Chains A and B, each alone.
Chain A
Amino acid sequence: MKEVVVLSGKGGTGKTSIVGSFAALAQSKVLADCDVDAADLHLLLEPVIRQRQEFWSGQVAAIDESKCTQCGLCQELCRFKAIRDFKVDRISCEGCGFCYHICPAEAITMKENLSGHWFISDTKYGSLVHARLGIAQENSGKLVAVVRQQAKAIAEKRKLDYIISDGPPGIGCPVISSLSGANLALLVTEPTLSGIHDLERVLGVCHHFNVPALVCINKYDINEENSRQIEIYCHSQGANVAAMIPFDNVFTEAMVHGVPVAEYTQNSVARQLKRLWQTIVSKLGD
C-alpha cells in the first residue's frame, strides 16, 4: 500500500480538482481529505456518510468564580494572554494547563474540547475519510493524523493499493501532518511569482521530511516564461515536472456540476490527468 499526498503551498492551484480526478481514474484506493479546516473534496464525490465520530482534542481552562480569590497569578503567568479580568478567553487559550497547576485556590479546571468531527463515507469511487474542524479551533494537525490513520486502516483491511490524500495549503502543522511518512508528494503549482515562491517553500518541507516530490504546473499557459522557470528550478531540485495542464474553464464547469473533471470531459485536460496518474503509479512502484 502506497500513499500519495497532493500539496501546493499556495492555495487555489487546483489540488482538489486533481485529487477528485484521481478518484475517478485510480483503481483500488481510499481517499483522504486532509484539508480539515476548508474541506472541498466531498463536493465532487457525493459522499454518503457511514460513520461519524467526534474529535476531542486539547483542553481549555475554566475558572470557577466561586473559588477564585482574584489573586491574579494566572493572569501574570499565562504567556498566551488568555486570562483577563479573571475570565478565560477560549480562543486565546492554548490548553497548556499552567494556570490549572499553579492556582493556589484550585479554582481552575481543564475541560476537554470538542474540536471537530471526522467521517467515513462511501462514494461511487470508493471510501472517503474526511473531517470538519470546529469553527476557530486548534489542533488541525491532530485531526489530519486521525484522518490518515483511518484511511490507512481501511486500505490495510481491504488490501487496497493506494491512499490518495488531498492536502491543505501552507507549510505548517496540518501540512506536516499530511506529509510526514507519505511515499510521494504531488505539488500542484501555477506559473505566477506567488505560485513559484510558495512551491519553493513546500518543496523545502518535502526535503525536510524526506518525501520525494513530483510537480504539476496547472494553468501553465497563463505565463509560459514562468512555467519554464519552474521546470528549470524543479530540475535543479531533483523534482520532475510530471504534467503541464493548460488553463481551461472545464475545471470550474466540472466543479459546478459536482463531478471530477476527468469524468466531466474527455478533452486534453482529462488525458493529461490520466497520464499524470500513470506517472504517479509508476513512481510509487519504484
Chain B
Amino acid sequence: MIISVASGKGGTGKTLVATSLALSLKDRERVQLLDCDVEEPNAHIFLKPVLNSREPVCIPVPKVDEGKCSYCGKCAEVCAYNAIAVLPDRVLVFAELCHGCGACSYLCSEKAIAEEMRETGLVESGYADGVKFAHGKLSIGEPMPTPVIRKVKEQANHDGTVIIDVSPGTSCPVVESIKGSNFCILVTEPTPFGLNDLVLAVETVRELGIPCGIVLNRAGVGDNKVEEYCRKENIPILLTIPLDTEIARLYSRGVTLVQGMPQWRGSFLSLFERIQEIASERSRSLKR
C-alpha cells in the first residue's frame, strides 16, 4: 500500500507524521519512506539514514552538431518550451528550459541533434533503523522538480507499505508525488491559512481519485472551521495532535515524535489501521 502525506499549506507537520508513521510500523511490516519533497527534503534529518547509494537525475537535452545542421529552424519550431533558437549561422540551446521530450532530435531532418544528459538533481537511498529510505534533491537553481520526484518513486517497493512525504502546495510536484497512492493523508492546522490550503489539497486528491483523511496538528490554536469543513465534506479526521511546546522542541532538534514521546506510537498504529480499512473499502467498492 502506498500512503502519501501532503498538506497544501507548508509547515503543518507532514514530515513529523510521515516519519513517525514509518517508525511505528517498522516492527510490524516492511516499510519504506520516500521523501518526494525534492526542493526541501527534511525526512533524513529525523530518520538519520545510512545512505549507501547515490544516483544522478538527468534530463536528455539537445546537442547540435553544427557541421550537419542546415539551420532550417525545424527544432525551434517544434520546441514547446522555447529551449532552442536558430539564428542564420548558429543554434542556441537553453538547456534549463528543456523538458527532455526528444522532439527536436527525432524530427531533425539532417540528424544533426544528439542528446546529452544534464544533471538536475540526485536520488540517495539506504536504510534508517529498519526503514528503507530514499529521497531526492533538486540541484540549486534548477526549476523542475518532477523528473527528480519520478526517479525517487522508481525506488518504491512493490510489497509492504510505502510512505511518501510530499512538498507543500497543490501544483505539479504534488500531483507527481501523490499520483498512484492508495491513500493520501492531509496534514493541516486549525487556522484560516490551514483551512484555505486544505480545501485546495482536497480538490487535488479528489481530482486524482485518491481517498483522503486528515491529521489535525497543533489542535487548540486558531478556530474550529477545519473540523466544520471536514464534517460537511465527510472527510474523516484520523488523528489529532495538540499544540504542545514539547512536541515543537523535539521537532526543532530533529527528533521524531514517536522516539521523543513513545506513548504516541499507539496513535500512529491506529491511524494506519483506519487508513487500511478506508483503502480496502475503496478498492472493494471499485471492484463492484
As a 0/1 sequence over residues 91 to 131 of chain B, the CB contacts with chain A under 8 angstroms (1 = contact) are 00000000111110011000000000000000000000000
Q: Are B191 and A255 in contact (CB under 8 A)?
A: yes
Question: Could you list some 14 contacts between A and B, CB below 8 A?
Answer: A37-B171, A40-B197, A96-B81, A96-B99, A101-B107, A170-B40, A171-B39, A171-B140, A173-B145, A176-B143, A194-B45, A197-B40, A197-B42, A205-B140
Chain A residue numbers with a CB within 8 Å of B248 are 222
Q: How far in angstroms is the closest Cβ of chain B from A73?
A: 10
Given A96-B101, A252-B222: A77 in contact with B168 (beta carbons within 8 A): no
As a 0/1 sequence over residues 42 to 64 of chain A, the CB contacts with chain B under 8 angstroms (1 = contact) are 01000000000000001100000
> Contacting B106 at CB < 8 Å: which of A77, A136, A140?
A77
Chain A residue numbers with a CB within 8 Å of B174 are 37
As a 0/1 sequence over residues 142 to 155 of chain B, the CB contacts with chain A under 8 angstroms (1 = contact) are 11110000000000
Q: Are B10 and A12 in contact (CB under 8 A)?
A: yes
Chain A residue numbers with a CB within 8 Å of B106 are 77, 98, 102
Q: Are A12 and B103 in contact (CB under 8 A)?
A: no
In the complex, how many residue pairs between chain A and chain B have their CB atoms under 8 Å apart? Answer: 190
Q: Are A137 and B9 in contact (CB under 8 A)?
A: no
Q: Are A98 and B101 in contact (CB under 8 A)?
A: yes
Q: Does B237 contact A (CB under 8 A)?
A: no
Q: Does A208 contact B (CB under 8 A)?
A: yes
> Contacting A40 at CB < 8 Å: which of B40, B175, B196, B207?
B196
Given A226-B252, A252-B191: A135 in contact with B10 (beta carbons within 8 A): no
Q: Are B192 and A43 in contact (CB under 8 A)?
A: yes
Chain B residue numbers with a CB within 8 Å of A176 are 141, 143
Q: How far in angstroms is the closest Cβ of chain A from B89?
A: 25
Closest to A141 in B: B143
Chain A residue numbers with a CB within 8 Å of B141 are 176, 204-205, 208-209
Chain B residue numbers with a CB within 8 Å of A96 are 80-81, 99, 101, 103
Q: Does B286 contact A (CB under 8 A)?
A: no
Chain A residue numbers with a CB within 8 Å of B207 are 91, 135-136
The residues in A between 1 and 22 inclusive whose CB is less than 8 angstroms from any CB of B are: 8-13, 16
> Contacting B191 at CB < 8 Å: which of A190, A222, A256?
A256
> Contacting B221 at CB < 8 Å: which of A101, A169, A249?
A249
Q: How far in angstroms is the closest Cβ of chain A from B61?
A: 12
Q: Are B193 and A171 in contact (CB under 8 A)?
A: no
Q: Are A13 and B11 in contact (CB under 8 A)?
A: yes
Chain B residue numbers with a CB within 8 Å of A205 are 140-141
**How many interface residues does A have (CB within 8 Å)?**
63
Q: How far is the CA of A201 from the CA of B103 in the complex (A)?
A: 33
Chain A residue numbers with a CB within 8 Å of B7 are 11
Q: How far is the CA of A45 from the CA of B120 in the complex (A)?
A: 38
> Contacting B196 at CB < 8 Å: which of A43, A95, A170?
A43
Q: How far is the CA of A91 from the CA of B204 in the complex (A)?
A: 11
> Contacting A193 at CB < 8 Å: which of B142, B245, B253?
B253
Given contacts A202-B40, A252-B191, 19 further A-B contacts (CB under 8 A): A10-B42, A40-B193, A43-B193, A43-B196, A96-B101, A101-B78, A135-B204, A137-B172, A168-B169, A170-B169, A170-B173, A172-B138, A193-B45, A194-B15, A194-B254, A198-B40, A201-B40, A222-B248, A256-B222
The residues in B between 169 and 226 inclusive whose CB is less than 8 angstroms from any CB of A are: 169-175, 179, 191-193, 196-197, 200, 203-204, 207-208, 221-223
Q: Are B169 and A201 in contact (CB under 8 A)?
A: no
* Residue among B100, B145, B167, B252 facing the most chain A CB atoms (10 A cut-off): B252
Closest to B43 in A: A194
Given A96-B81, A101-B107, A193-B253: A171 in contact with B221 (beta carbons within 8 A): no
Q: How far is the CA of A138 from the CA of B204 in the complex (A)?
A: 13
Q: Are B40 and A94 in contact (CB under 8 A)?
A: no
Q: How far is the CA of A201 from the CA of B121 in the complex (A)?
A: 13
Q: How far in angstroms is the closest Cβ of chain B from A226?
A: 6
Q: Are A255 and B222 in contact (CB under 8 A)?
A: yes
Q: Does B32 contact A (CB under 8 A)?
A: no
Q: Does A212 contact B (CB under 8 A)?
A: no
